Amino acid sequence: MTFSLHGTPVSKGIAIGKAVLISRAALEVSHYLVEPGKEEAEAQKLLDAFDQVRRELEQLRLGLPKDAPQEMAAFLDVHGMILADPALTEKPMKLIRAQRMNAAWALTTELNDLLEQFSEIEDLYLKERANDIRQVAERVIKALNAQKKDVLEDVALLSPSDIGVESIVVAHDIAPHDMLRFKDHAFTGFVTDLGGKTSHTAIVARSMEIPALVGVRHASEMIRHGDWLVLDGERGVVIVAPDDQLLAEYRKLQTQGLREARKLQQLKHSRTATADNVEIELFANIELPEDAVQALALGAVGVGLFRSEFLFMDRNQAMPDEDQQYREYRRVVDLMHGLPVNIRTIDVGADKALGAGGDVSQTGTSPLGLRAIRWSLTEPEIFLTQLRAILRASAHGQARIMIPMLAHAKEIDETFRLIEKAKQQLHQRGLAFNPKIQVGAMIEIPAAALVLPLFINRFDFLSIGTNDLIQYTLAIDRADHAVAHLYDPLHPAILYLLDSIISQANRANVPIAVCGEMAGDPGLTKLLLALGLTDFSMHFSQLLLVKREILKANVGLLKARISRVLKAYEPEAQAKALERLLS
């Protein structure tokens, strides 16, 4: 039966293919049917996972210190008893054998049944036991998941007859780093239950230049592995099990889209200036060093934002040391042939988790927590290592340091103190670097925007991170789909801040760019030009789309019309003023 689900489009285009359900978290499991004849092997997997958890618990029990509280041992005993109770394996085994459910799916089905029964119990003590059962089941599912090496092994779920068929990833959520791993795989689209337009997962999806939808609630429950899907990244809809007529229509649209993309390529080598001859500079945002190749090929005049944290987020790798980082930064600098490269210092925390390989304390997961420069300043050795690596790369080209999430003067002081220290350390080791390396700040916390002279006076260049500036100004978590509808780049408060930042920086002659997702949205290009922006930094996939808008724009006219937009607080008045601006 055909049905459609709606979500937030984060990367345009149309994808047609079979669904591949991907799981990651303990209880967010893949739902698929095992191949006929493989039921016993699947049942054995479940038993093995139970055995493994039993052994783990025994180890824990043996390793308990003598003075461990009694409750600890009791707790492990209860879990041991739950594990040994055949009730928890019997039904899942039946589901695997009779319905060919995969092991984790079968176990969660039983778990959900049990939890429902427990929810009706009034006795508080017994009610508590539901938690124990959940924890035990989670351990077993973790063990089942660990039987696979990483998230991409789920891809093996496609049956051999599906090879060669285009496939679309469907998941509850995908961490930004896992998304990056998909880069080398031939998927044609992504659908996730969670996420907002500027969540880091969405940003990485967009960087892969394939259609993607986030915030498609319950997609991973309603779509089954192997379902045919049409993903419409323009309208934000995924159509499940489309009929032949719909498929044919979408195939036609897909071909048209490809034709337009080819036409756009002709703009690659033209000069970037508006119709009234204002020169504009287009920079690229990159996550991996090799992205620089395409950025350059599409005419970027530098890297405006290298999100260096992606070198630190691999779960399977240790933190890169100074030499490793130097090699990566140098690679980008070399690939860009003397053009500027803004290497943003590590911005982990919030929705970007550090890889487990690093021997460091974890970052905060709240967007208001220990993130970006706040974290770097609590880990000075890691920060110094990164600064030395960037400085060494600056001996080979225009590597520049860019600092995320600054708000306080004392953070700025401490950052510059550590940059000086890193320089001294390199000097002592006799290693080359550019002593006059440029240092820039991201303006992405409203407090920074409101005290801009502090930043203008101390930094060589500034770059507005609109993703965070919007998140923090409007008080909405950019990764939370429940408030995604409130994420509004056109909110009068945002326009007020952008106008204030850009005009102050321009007056002071301090280079100012926008490197948030707003810069790469062709629908907002004229607005940013009207505000006086001349440096845009975006994912390279957006470069030519934005360039097309720039070539058509008349900045003189736009500037004459912007004050009406800025003064319009009522939505209708704003819409009218915007329409006039963009006409």
Residues recognised as catalytic: 200, 515
Q: Taken in order 430, 435, 437, 443, is the CA torsion positive or negative?
A: positive
466 binds ligand PEP (CB under 6 A): yes
The one-letter code for the residue type at 292 is: A
- Residue closest to 198 by CA, chosen among 184, 215, 183, 181: 215
From the CB of 350, what's the least distance to ligand PEP, in Å?
8
444 binds Mg ion (CB under 5 A): yes
Within 432-461, the residues that bind ligand PEP by CB under 6 A are 444
CB nearer to Mg ion: pick between 111 and 284: 284
Within 468-497, the residues that bind Mg ion by CB under 5 A are 468
Contacted by 211, from ligand PEP, Mg ion, none: CB < 5 to 8 Å by type: none
Contacted by 466, from ligand PEP, Mg ion, none: CB < 5 to 8 Å by type: ligand PEP
CB nearer to Mg ion: pick between 23 and 463: 463
The pair of structure tokens assigned to 245 is 């007529």
Integer-rounded Cα radius of gyration of the chain? 26
Contacted by 515, from ligand PEP, Mg ion, none: CB < 5 to 8 Å by type: ligand PEP
Binding segment for ligand PEP among 180-188, 249-257, 465-473, 540-548 (CB under 6 A)?
A: 465-473
- Residue closest to 100 by CA, chosen among 43, 167, 15, 146: 43
Residue 22 to residue 415: CA distance in whole angstroms: 40
Residue 491 to residue 516: CA distance in whole angstroms: 16
Site string for ligand PEP, 376-395 (x = CB under 6 A): --------------------
Contact 52, 122 (CB under 8 A): no
Contacted by 307, from Mg ion, ligand PEP, none: CB < 5 to 8 Å by type: ligand PEP
Full 3-state SS string of 364-427:
CCCCCCCCHHHHHHHCHHHHHHHHHHHHHHHHHCCEEEEECCCCCHHHHHHHHHHHHHHHHHHH
Residue 494 to residue 418: CA distance in whole angstroms: 32
Among 7, 176, 189, 465, binds Mg ion (CB under 5 A): 465
340 binds Mg ion (CB under 5 A): no
CB nearer to ligand PEP: pick between 355 and 516: 516
CB nearer to ligand PEP: pick between 299 and 465: 465
Conformational region of residue 240, where left means phi above 0, alpha means psi within -120 to 50, and beta covers everything else: beta
Q: Say which DSSP state 41 is in.
A: H
Among 465, 489, 520, 532, binds ligand PEP (CB under 6 A): 465
From the CB of 204, what's the least distance to ligand PEP, in Å?
10
From the CB of 444, what's the least distance to Mg ion, in Å?
5
Please, what is the end-to-end C-alpha distance for the chain in angstroms?
A: 43
- Residue closest to 384 by CA, chosen among 430, 433, 321: 321
Within 281-320, the residues that bind ligand PEP by CB under 6 A are 305, 307
From the CB of 145, what's the least distance to ligand PEP, in Å?
28
Among 516, 524, 535, 577, binds ligand PEP (CB under 6 A): 516
For 362, list phi and psi in degrees, rounded to 5: -75, 160
CB nearer to ligand PEP: pick between 104 and 203: 203
400 binds ligand PEP (CB under 6 A): no
Within 325-364, the residues that bind ligand PEP by CB under 6 A are 347
CB nearer to Mg ion: pick between 295 and 469: 469
Contact 137, 103 (CB under 8 A): no
Count of chain residues binding ligand PEP (CB under 6 A) = 11
Tell me the C-alpha to C-alpha distance, in Å, between residue 552 and each of 199, 273, 281, 283, 428.
30, 9, 15, 19, 53
- Residue closest to 405 by CA, chosen among 442, 454, 368, 350: 442
Among 376, 467, 541, 542, binds ligand PEP (CB under 6 A): 467
* Residue that has been written with the tokens 């890169």 in this structure: 320
Binding segment for Mg ion among 56-64, 190-198, 411-419, 467-475 (CB under 5 A)?
A: 467-475
Contacted by 102, from ligand PEP, Mg ion, none: CB < 5 to 8 Å by type: none
Among 212, 484, 505, 515, binds ligand PEP (CB under 6 A): 515
**Residues 6+ positions from 467 with CB-CB distance below 8 Å:** 198, 203, 444, 478, 516, 517
Residue 516 to residue 283: CA distance in whole angstroms: 12
287 binds Mg ion (CB under 5 A): no
201 binds ligand PEP (CB under 6 A): no
Contacted by 31, from ligand PEP, Mg ion, none: CB < 5 to 8 Å by type: none
Burial string for 11-20 (b: 16+ CB within 10 Å, else e) reads: bbbbbbbbbb
From the CB of 307, what's the least distance to ligand PEP, in Å?
5
468 binds ligand PEP (CB under 6 A): yes
From the CB of 258, what's the least distance to ligand PEP, in Å?
29
CA angle 367, 372, 375 (to 5 degrees): 100
* Residue that has been written with the tokens 């810069």 in this structure: 519
Count of chain residues binding Mg ion (CB under 5 A) = 3
CB nearer to Mg ion: pick between 172 and 478: 478
- Residue closest to 309 by CA, chosen among 282, 283, 328, 284: 328
CB nearer to ligand PEP: pick between 176 and 299: 176
- Helical spans, DSSP H, in 185-343: 200-207, 219-222, 244-264, 291-297, 322-335
Site string for ligand PEP, 74-113 (x = CB under 6 A): ----------------------------------------
**Which H helix or E strand runs over 301?**
none
From the CB of 89, what's the least distance to ligand PEP, in Å?
45
CB nearer to ligand PEP: pick between 95 and 203: 203
CB nearer to ligand PEP: pick between 398 and 467: 467
CB nearer to Mg ion: pick between 399 and 464: 464
Binding site for Mg ion (CB under 5 A): 444, 465, 468
Binding site for ligand PEP (CB under 6 A): 203, 305, 307, 347, 444, 465-468, 515-516
